């Protein structure tokens, strides 16, 4: 890469070294390459500034924050991003809330951000844009005359053609994405849906090299399945739990679920399936517990308030009907817990229960596998609808709408012989290692470096 790397994501990490996950991987990438990370800072909520503002640690790379007004927050973030695009991409058209103000806010923020980035970007810089908040960013940058490389990575599912109909007419994902050099998606199924959209909306055609072509433009569309920082997670999970009392309290058959409290994660059906398992188990002396960690998210959006109420009611009923004086079948924790503790909880749990209705990838599935003791691993029960299921085929794959099937999978997982657990763990772990997040960002950036948006005359002649 000749110029500098500019990463754009909705939130910018403020800690000198951010803990875990995608944010950590991008931090590590920028630490090596140098460059700029652009994102919003919640502290700036009330005081938007016209130019990007330096925040946090600036030693290895620059962190530049953009501000959002209260109106931007309501219309761009809570509105178009999370009440239109998020439900459309997660096949929940019934939860879409339409408002012209949302569209205007989304366009306004993307346009303003493009201007702010344009002020700091040089033509040989590479811009890497993350997620659904910024679909139109490349189009806005191109309008300003930016000709350098711009890549996009979508972390959530790419919507099916039928679901795209729920978007306002002005919001054309095809036109927006066509202004990127490389569109990265999580899975091969996402790529197939994206190609279908390009064909149908722009009459685009697929070329031999996997790029798509329309008019005089090409755009690369490829899957880059995201993963976790495997070595760090394995090392953390291995360390013994500092709190001996907590470790003793958590003895027995623990089934673990860890999800932001989002309607896409399938939590009510998970609780129902666990209840069904308790009812149908033949050995009533066996007392499994579901430990569900579900930190709050987007609490200002009505659909998130509704799912919280539904879950609280279900949790109360499940414990009321099944608890004993000395046994609480469901522990439901509605707050964020420490990442190091999380790794150890995964390791203790006999089953990892991951049952989203739709999910770009699902990193919890990969974290659960990475945290296991290879000599005595637990079992991953995984929704077929999670992106992770495309490659982790040796998990116990379930239909998240089928309570009976999930309950049976729990019985199977809790009774699985050691050899089968080890075989399944090894197959899943091979996939977790193959998609390590460090390798993911390297692969993406190397593909972006080799990509080229405009079709030149020589590539016309080589493809006939
Ligand atoms: C989006 C896509 C895609 C959760 N609770 C706590 C906590 N977490 C951590 C998990 C995991 C992360 O949050 C969640 O990642 P997921 O991948 O499961 O889901 P989304 O947040 O929806 O992420 C998704 C991902 O982007 C990456 O591309 O896989 O499909 O929807 O790392 O461990 N971490 C801590 N305390 C908690 O209480 N410390």
What is the tens place of the pLDDT at every residue in 410-455?
999 999 999 999 999 999 999 999 999 999 999 999 999 998 776 5
Kindly state the tokens that stand for 451.
């990509």
Q: Does 342 contact ligand 1 (Cβ within 6 A)? A: yes
Q: Does 361 contact ligand 1 (Cβ within 6 A)? A: yes
Torsion angles phi and psi, residue 135, rounded to 5: -50, -45
Which residues of the chain have a pLDDT value below 50?
Answer: 457-464
Please name which of 90, 155, 163, 154 lies closest in space to residue 357, comparing C-alpha atoms. Answer: 90
191 contacts 185 by C-beta, under 8 angstroms: yes
Q: Does 130 contact ligand 1 (Cβ within 6 A)? A: no
Q: Does 227 contact ligand 1 (Cβ within 6 A)? A: no
Active site includes 359?
yes
CA 448 to CA 357: how far, in whole Å?
A: 31
- pTM for the model stands at 0.95
CA 355 to CA 251: how far, in whole Å?
A: 24
Distance from residue 21's CA to the centre of ligand 1 (Å): 8
228 contacts 239 by C-beta, under 8 angstroms: no
Active site includes 216?
no
Q: Does 388 contact ligand 1 (Cβ within 6 A)? A: no
Distance from residue 371's CA to the centre of ligand 1 (Å): 15
Distance from residue 39's CA to the centre of ligand 1 (Å): 18
The active-site residue out of 73, 130, 133, 155 is: 155
Q: Which domains does the chain have, with CATH numbers?
A: 5-227+439-457 (3.40.50.2000), 230-435 (3.40.50.2000)
What pLDDT sits at residue 29?
Answer: 86
Q: Does 363 contact ligand 1 (Cβ within 6 A)? A: yes
What pLDDT sits at residue 48?
Answer: 62
CA 107 to CA 109: how far, in whole Å?
A: 6
55 contacts 12 by C-beta, under 8 angstroms: yes
What pLDDT sits at residue 17?
Answer: 66
Distance from residue 394's CA to the centre of ligand 1 (Å): 21
Pocket probe for ligand 1: among 23, 227, 360, 432, the residue whose CB has the most ligand atoms within 8 Å is: 360
What pLDDT sits at residue 459?
Answer: 44
* CA R_g for the chain: 23
Distance from residue 226's CA to the centre of ligand 1 (Å): 12
Kindly state the tokens that stand for 343.
């790794």
Q: Does 382 contact ligand 1 (Cβ within 6 A)? A: no
């Amino acid at each position: 890469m000749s110029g500098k790397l500019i990463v754009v994501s909705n939130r910018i990490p403020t800690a000198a070294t951010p803990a875990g996950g995608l944010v950590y991987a991008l931090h590590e990438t920028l630490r090596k390459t140098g460059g700029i990370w652009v994102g919003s800072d919640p502290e700036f909520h009330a005081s938007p500034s016209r130019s990007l503002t330096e925040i946090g640690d600036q030693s290895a790379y620059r962190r530049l924050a953009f501000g959002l007004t209260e109106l931007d927050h309501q219309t761009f973030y809570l509105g178009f991003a999370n009440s239109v695009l998020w439900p459309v991409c997660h096949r929940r058209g019934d939860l879409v809330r339409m408002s012209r103000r949302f569209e205007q806010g989304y366009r306004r923020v993307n346009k303003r951000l493009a201007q702010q980035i344009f002020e700091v970007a040089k033509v040989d810089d590479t811009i890497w844009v993350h997620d659904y908040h910024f679909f139109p960013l490349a189009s806005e940058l191109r309008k300003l005359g930016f000709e350098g490389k711009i890549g996009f990575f979508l972390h959530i599912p790419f919507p099916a053609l039928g679901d795209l109909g729920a978007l306002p007419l002005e919001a054309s994902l095809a036109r927006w994405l066509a202004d990127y050099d490389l569109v990265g998606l999580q899975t091969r199924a996402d790529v197939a849906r994206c190609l279908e959209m390009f064909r149908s909306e722009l009459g685009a055609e697929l070329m031999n090299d996997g790029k798509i072509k329309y008019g005089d433009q090409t755009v690369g569309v490829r899957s880059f399945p995201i993963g976790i920082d495997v070595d760090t997670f394995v090392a953390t999970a291995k360390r013994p739990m500092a709190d001996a009392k907590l470790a003793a309290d958590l003895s027995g058959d623990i089934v673990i679920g860890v999800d932001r409290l989002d309607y896409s994660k399938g939590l009510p059906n998970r609780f129902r399936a666990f209840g069904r398992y308790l009812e149908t188990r033949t050995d009533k002396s066996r007392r499994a517990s579901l430990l569900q960690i579900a930190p709050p998210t987007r609490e200002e959006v009505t659909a998130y308030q509704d799912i919280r109420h539904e879950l609280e009611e279900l949790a109360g009923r499940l414990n009321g009907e099944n608890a004993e004086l000395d046994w609480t079948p469901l522990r439901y924790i509605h707050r964020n817990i420490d990442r190091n503790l999380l790794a150890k909880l995964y390791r203790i749990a006999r089953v990892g229960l991951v049952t989203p209705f739709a999910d770009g990838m699902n990193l919890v599935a990969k974290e659960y596998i990475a945290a296991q003791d290879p000599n005595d691993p637990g079992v991953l029960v995984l929704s077929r609808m999670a992106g992770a299921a495309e490659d982790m085929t040796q998990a116990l794959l379930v239909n998240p709408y089928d309570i009976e099937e999930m309950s049976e999978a729990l019985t199977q997982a809790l009774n699985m012989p050691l050899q089968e657990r080890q075989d399944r763990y090894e197959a899943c772990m091979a996939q977790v290692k193959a998609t390590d997040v460090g390798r993911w960002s390297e692969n993406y950036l190397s593909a972006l470096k080799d990509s080229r948006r405009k079709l030149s005359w020589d590539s016309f002649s080589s493809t006939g």
